[in-house]
Amino acid sequence: MRLAAALLGVLLATPAWADDCPLDLGRGTGWVVFSDHYLMAFRSDPLRIEVGEPFALLVNVCTRRSGAAELLAVDANMPEHRHGMNYRATIVAKGNGRFRAEGLLFHMPGRWEITFDVRAGSESERLTHDIILK
């Protein structure tokens, strides 16, 4: 029941235009998600997500113009089965665009879609990322 090691080994590929964004997660691993307006990097803590075990996400987020952005909420669901987690994550701001989402737990193997609600000023957006838990 381990997240494929290959997924965890994805190197943080910081785009050249994101030099001023705080995307360094400190361990050289993680995922980058971006849209027209936002850049975001995240990794799990612990690095290996196990089915049925709680984990946290370390999230760094900013706008593509290197402006400050805020992480409002993190959630996850299994689109095929139309159900979410049995747990609700809480967000703690760590400063300088860094956040920790605590209390996630995937109770089944399969495809999970993680959703990140981010905001800069009055503009908010939902970013998503899929991971497959085996």
Partner 1 sequence: MIRLLLLVSLLAAGAVGVRAQHLLDWSAEEIRAVGQHGPWPPPPVQDPSNKVSGTPAGIALGEHLFNEPRLSGDGRMSCATCHQAGREWSDGLAKARGAVELDRRTPSLWNIGYLHWFGWDGAGDSLWAQSIRPLLDPREMNGGPTRAGELLRSDAAFACGYERAFGSRPGSDDERLLVDTAKALAAFQATLVSPRTGFDDFRDALLAGDRESASRYPLAAQRGLKLFIGEASCNLCHLGPRFTSGEFGDIGIPFFVRPGEVDPGRHGGLGRLAASPFNLLGKYNDDASGSNARRTRHVQRQHTNFGEFRVPGLRQVGRGGPYMHNGSLATLEDVIRHYSEVSPDRLHSDGIPLVRPLGLTVEQSADLVAFLRSLDAEALARPSPAPLCP
Non-local CB neighbours of 102 within 8 Å, separated by 6+ positions:
56, 89, 90, 91, 92
**Residue of 98, 126, 125, 103 lying closest to 114 (CA atoms):** 126
| Region of 26-34, 36-44, 48-56, 115-123 interacting with partner 1 (CB under 8 A) | 48-56
Non-local CB neighbours of 6 within 8 Å, separated by 6+ positions:
none
Q: Interface residues for partner 1 in 69-108 (CB under 8 A)?
A: 78-83, 85-90, 102-105, 107-108
Give the residue, chosen from 51, 72, 73, 131, that forms a contact with partner 1 under the rule CB under 8 A: 51
117 binds partner 1 per the rule CB under 8 A:
no
Residue type, 100: R
Q: Which residues bind partner 1 (CB under 8 A)?
A: 1, 51-52, 54, 78-83, 85-90, 102-105, 107-110, 134
